[in-house]
Amino acid sequence: MRTLVICEKPDAARRLAEALADTEPSTHRKHGLTYFEVTRKDERITICPALGHLYVVDSKDVSPRRIYPVWDFSWKPKYEVERGYERQRGWLRAIQELAEEAERFINSCDYDTEGSLIGYMILKYACGGADRKAGRMRFSTLTRSDLNQAYVNVTDKLDYELAQAGMCRHEIDWLYGVNLSRAITESAREYSNRYATISTGRVQGPTLRFIVEREVEVAIHVPVPYWTIEVTVAIDGVLTEAEYSKEKLETKAEAERVVNDVDKRSGLVEDIQERSVRIEPPNPFDLTTIQSEAYRHFRMSPSQTLRILERLYLEALISYPRTSSQKLPPSIGYREILEGLARNPEYKRLSADLLSQPTLRPREGKKFDPAHPAIYPTGQLPKRRLEPRESRVLDLVTKRFMATFAAAATRQSLKVTIRVGQEYLFYIHGSRLIHPGWTRYYEPYVKFAETVLPKIELGQEVTFKEVTARERFTTPPPRYNPSSLLRKMEESEIGTKATRAEIIDILYKRGYVLGETIRPTPLANKVIEVLKKHCPKIVDVSFTRELEVLMSRIELGEERREAVVIEAVEQLKPIIEQLKTNEDEVGRDLSEAIREMRLQNISLKVPCPSCGLQLRIIRSKKTKKRFIGCSGAWVSGCRFSLPLPQFGTIKLLDRYCGRCGFQLVKTVGSRGRSLISCPKCYVEGFKRKP
Amino acid sequence: MVCKEQAKRDGLCSLHHLAREKLDNNYKLWQAAYGDITYERYLQSLIRLPETGEAAAAVAKLILNKRGGETDENTRHL
């Protein structure tokens, strides 16, 4: 009997082949697809990889991309729909041929909605309807033992609910994305006769709205004054900081009164409170938490972190990362993992300490994911030298895992109350860690500030050396960064753990947002304004959340995919109709923003050295060559110009030449090679040549 | 005009109108904080503060300009 096993990625297929084979697996190639043949007892197994999704949603009939609305859709091979996937044609042909020789089928893609869908589609369309007789392997790590166990315990049918939920999400996202994006893109094109892709989507719209609304809060912020009292006291000649009992004083008069009444006077220690605070270990990592932590410590964007986590997972160094669980069940084998980690000299001592405990019980959080546990290290050693960023993320996962098994930390805090006269109370705070507990395992990712106070007794006199009132002003709420935006999306229950980071990336790619501290571009402001005006539902978080709830009910078997898609279409139809009716108005509003954006992309920030007017990237109508020219050419006849590379994509950087101060230009070639250059120095270099 | 957006109320776009409302509301808080502060002085202080939002600062400059209270380079173009 021959079994065909479908994996999600080539690396996963290789790992599975190595795990299942009695002897060395044999590698074969067919129509460009590398697959593996293994013998396991008397069974012959063919293991072939996918490359993520091989099938995607597209309009049922071939229709021009500019036509909308589009309601009829079907699943098609990705190579037919998207450019750059031609080699998948051969892959699908190879899978088809391999399927003809097989009698038993298994979906061994990652165990989540995407993995279930990838396998289901291949089995259904490329393997001649084998989805009806296929089984499912479920695993959370790509270790030999987990994979063998998953193969032995393979289910006798596919996880249809997960696959249906995945299908539904893709279909609804396609319907919303295509129709809304085409509606606004076409409106702008009709009005201005110029084409620019403007996209929005079911999750993208509300996410962009968060950013735009935060920017409004920042832009209209009117600071309000308040005062804090800053105090330095002397205790037995040792100077230390104290704080006034009222954190903020709302009037200048009150602040001045406190200073006048207290400065250079002495107070008496009225109370000393000492208490021990128990600090529990952190919860194990779910995807959102590790993305936040990696941003906090390494400034890695959520999508970068996810990419690294996926690489580590494919090398069987950590468990499946797309999880929302904060649970570590005993079945993962705590002791075996720690023993594995002990083989690494860096973790040897810490692991040994944990292993010496009579029982191992991790601290767990509330979040639960039925498909996978929290992210944990497998305890295996890397088989190659990891890149620095990969090492850092693996270290973070490992130390967090160990910390969850350690004892709570204990911190001793001291609060000294000083009274001046009848009216004024001041506090001095001290703190120190008396029992490090889990913090020892999680260093350097945890730090507690320690303040050691001199010896103080009740009734002791304290001299107020310096008392000042500091004028301060309220600050606007902070702009989002990729990590805080991801948390906001999770709190608002929009998107999924697997797609949120990607949505943030799309906002950058579409030119809607800029910078690490995220600021919306004028185009983003306009798109949100237009959507709020003509189809407020699309940027309404609660509407998106309701759809998410419906989709998650498909996973539980409580809702049918078809019903949810119909419901989503019913909601979308009037929105698209309204956009169509107001096409002119929408087009006018967006065209102006697009024009501004285009101008911004081609306008240099340094002025013309010759006349002081603005420099721009210009393309000659006659020669079709691009160059930097002065906008004063049409005003004062300024002829200043600088050459630019003629091949590749040009981007004006926010960086300036260290030699001449001119704005730097980045050129990215067709093979992705980039060149950063200074156009002015380039010309001067030429001039200097004899 | 403070920006290129279409004016909706009081010759201001919706963003700058929001800023204007906030300016007027918070003036009371400034009066309470300092005891006595003129509206012009309040606006001049806001323009100088880095915490003030761009739209709020632009409206403050516009009002000052209209009242002739400030005519420096930064406000002349408004």
Task: Confirm if A628 and A618 have CB atoms less than 8 A apart.
Answer: yes
CB-CB neighbors (< 8 A) of A216 in chain B: 15, 18
Task: With CB atoms and an 8 Å threshold, state whether A220 touches B15.
Answer: yes
* Closest CA–CA distance from residue B37 to any residue of chain A (Å): 12
Q: Which of A102-111, A671-680, B25-34 has the lowest mean pLDDT?
A: A671-680
Kindly state whether A225 is in contact with chain B, defined as any CB-CB distance less than 8 angstroms. Answer: yes
Kindly state whether B53 is in contact with chain A, defined as any CB-CB distance less than 8 angstroms. Answer: yes
CB-nearest partner of A216 from B15, B23, B35 = B15
**Is the ipTM above a cut-off of 0.85?**
yes
DSSP letter, residue A632: G
Task: With CB atoms and an 8 Å threshold, state whether B30 touches A250.
Answer: no
Task: Confirm if A464 and A229 have CB atoms less than 8 A apart.
Answer: no
Residue A49, pLDDT score? 95
Strand partners, A39: A44
Task: Confirm if A477 and A276 have CB atoms less than 8 A apart.
Answer: no
pLDDT at A378 over 80: yes
* Residue A165: how many other CB atoms lie within 10 Å: 27
Task: Tell me the average pLDDT across A565-572.
Answer: 93
Contacts 24+ apart (CB under 8 A), A496-500: A496/A113, A496/A169, A496/A548, A497/A286, A497/A287, A497/A288, A497/A322, A497/A323, A497/A324, A498/A112, A498/A113, A498/A114, A498/A287, A498/A322, A499/A203, A500/A203, A500/A288, A500/A302
Kindly state whether A635 is in contact with chain B, defined as any CB-CB distance less than 8 angstroms. Answer: no
pLDDT at B73 over 60: no
Residue B7, pLDDT score? 66
Kindly state whether B30 is in contact with chain A, defined as any CB-CB distance less than 8 angstroms. Answer: yes
Q: Mind listing the pLDDT tens digit for each residue in A584-597? A: 888 888 887 777 77
CB-nearest partner of A252 from B4, B15, B33 = B33
Task: Confirm if A401 and A333 have CB atoms less than 8 A apart.
Answer: no
Q: Of the residues A68, A151, A244, A320, which is catalytic?
A: A320
| A 35-94: CB under 8 A from B | none
Q: How far, rounded to the nearest angstrom, does the alpha carbon of residue A591 sit from its chain's CA centroid?
A: 31
What distance in Å separates the CA atoms of residue A140 and residue A625, rounded to the nearest whole number?
55
Task: Confirm if A77 and A93 have CB atoms less than 8 A apart.
Answer: no
Task: With CB atoms and an 8 Å threshold, state whether B55 touches A474.
Answer: no
- Mean pLDDT, chain A, rounded, equals 91
Contacts of A647 (CB under 8 A, 6+ apart): A667, A669, A670
Task: Tell me which chain B residue has its CA closest to the CA of residue A473.
Answer: B51
Q: Mind listing the pLDDT tens digit for each residue in B30-71? A: 999 998 899 999 999 999 999 999 999 999 999 998 877 444
CB-nearest partner of A219 from B34, B51, B55 = B55
Token couple for A630: 């002065």
Residue A322, pLDDT score? 92
Residue labelled with tokens 């409302």: B21
Q: Mind listing the pLDDT tens digit for each residue in A216-249? A: 999 999 999 999 999 999 887 888 899 999 999 9
Q: Which of A17-21, A63-67, A503-507, B43-47 has the lowest mean pLDDT?
A: A63-67
pLDDT at A387 over 60: yes
Residue B4, pLDDT score? 65
Kindly state whether A433 is in contact with chain B, defined as any CB-CB distance less than 8 angstroms. Answer: no
pLDDT at A114 over 50: yes
Kindly state whether B51 is in contact with chain A, defined as any CB-CB distance less than 8 angstroms. Answer: yes
Task: Tell me the average pLDDT across A399-404.
Answer: 97
CB-nearest partner of A221 from B4, B33, B52 = B52
pLDDT at B78 over 60: no
Among candidate residues A172, A179, A160, the one with its CA nearest the CA of residue A549: A172
Kindly state whether A600 is in contact with chain B, defined as any CB-CB distance less than 8 angstroms. Answer: no
In A492-559, alpha helices (H): 500-509, 522-534, 541-555
Task: With CB atoms and an 8 Å threshold, state whether B52 touches A226.
Answer: no
pTM value is 0.82
Task: With CB atoms and an 8 Å threshold, state whether A221 touches B32.
Answer: no
Crossing angle of the two packed helices A160-192 and A541-555, in degrees rounded to 10: 150
Percent of chain A scoring above 90 in pLDDT: 63
SS3 A102: coil
* Closest CA–CA distance from residue B65 to any residue of chain A (Å): 19
CB-CB neighbors (< 8 A) of B15 in chain A: 216, 219-220
CB-CB neighbors (< 8 A) of A477 in chain B: none
* Closest CA–CA distance from residue B57 to any residue of chain A (Å): 8
Among candidate residues A534, A467, A548, A433, the one with its CA nearest the CA of residue A203: A548
Q: Mind listing the pLDDT tens digit for each residue in A632-658? A: 887 778 889 999 988 888 888 888 998
Task: Tell me the average pLDDT across A267-275.
Answer: 92
Kindly state whether B55 is in contact with chain A, defined as any CB-CB distance less than 8 angstroms. Answer: yes
Residue labelled with tokens 């990891």: A386
* Closest CA–CA distance from residue A614 to any residue of chain B (Å): 18
In angstroms, the Cα distances linking A335 to A467, B30, B60 are 57, 63, 66
Strand partners, A266: A463
Kindly state whether A477 is in contact with chain B, defined as any CB-CB distance less than 8 angstroms. Answer: no
What distance in Å separates the CA atoms of residue A338 and residue A344, rounded to the nearest whole number?
10
Residue B12, pLDDT score? 84
Residue B71, pLDDT score? 44
Residue labelled with tokens 């992210």: A375
Q: What is the DSSP string of A13-59?
A: HHHHHHHH-SSPPEEEEETTEEEEEEEETTEEEEEEE--S-SEEEEE
Task: Tell me which chain A residue has its CA closest to the CA of residue B27.
Answer: A224
Task: With CB atoms and an 8 Å threshold, state whether B53 touches A221.
Answer: yes
Task: With CB atoms and an 8 Å threshold, state whether B32 touches A219.
Answer: no
Residue labelled with tokens 């002119």: A584
* Closest CA–CA distance from residue B15 to any residue of chain A (Å): 7
DSSP letter, residue B65: H
Residue labelled with tokens 């956009």: A579
Mutation target to probe the A interface, by most A beta carbons within 10 A, among B26, B45, B47 is: B26
Kindly state whether A220 is in contact with chain B, defined as any CB-CB distance less than 8 angstroms. Answer: yes
Pairing of strands A663-668, A649-656: antiparallel
Kindly state whether B31 is in contact with chain A, defined as any CB-CB distance less than 8 angstroms. Answer: no
Residue A688, pLDDT score? 64
What distance in Å separates the CA atoms of residue B11 and residue A431, rounded to the nearest whole number?
56
- pLDDT greater at residue A396 or residue A51: A396
Task: With CB atoms and an 8 Å threshold, state whether A221 touches B26.
Answer: no
In angstroms, the Cα distances linking B8 to A523, B5, B12, B15 are 20, 9, 6, 10
In angstroms, the Cα distances linking A406 to A354, A369, A442, A632 are 7, 24, 10, 69
Residue A264, pLDDT score? 82
DSSP letter, residue A377: B
CB-CB neighbors (< 8 A) of A473 in chain B: 49, 51
Q: Which of A62-71, A299-308, A671-680 has the lowest mean pLDDT?
A: A62-71
pLDDT range class, residue B76, cuts 50, 70, 90: very low
pLDDT range class, residue A685, cuts 50, 70, 90: confident
Task: Tell me the average pLDDT across A64-90.
Answer: 89
Is A111 designated active site?
no
Q: Mind listing the pLDDT tens digit for each residue in A163-212? A: 999 999 999 999 999 999 888 888 888 877 777 778 888 899 999 999 99
CB-CB neighbors (< 8 A) of B49 in chain A: 223, 473
Kindly state whether A216 is in contact with chain B, defined as any CB-CB distance less than 8 angstroms. Answer: yes
Q: Mind listing the pLDDT tens digit for each residue in A337-358? A: 999 999 999 999 999 999 999 9
Kindly state whether A251 is in contact with chain B, defined as any CB-CB distance less than 8 angstroms. Answer: yes
Q: Mind listing the pLDDT tens digit for each residue in A450-505? A: 888 888 889 998 889 899 999 999 999 999 999 999 999 999 999 888 889 999 99
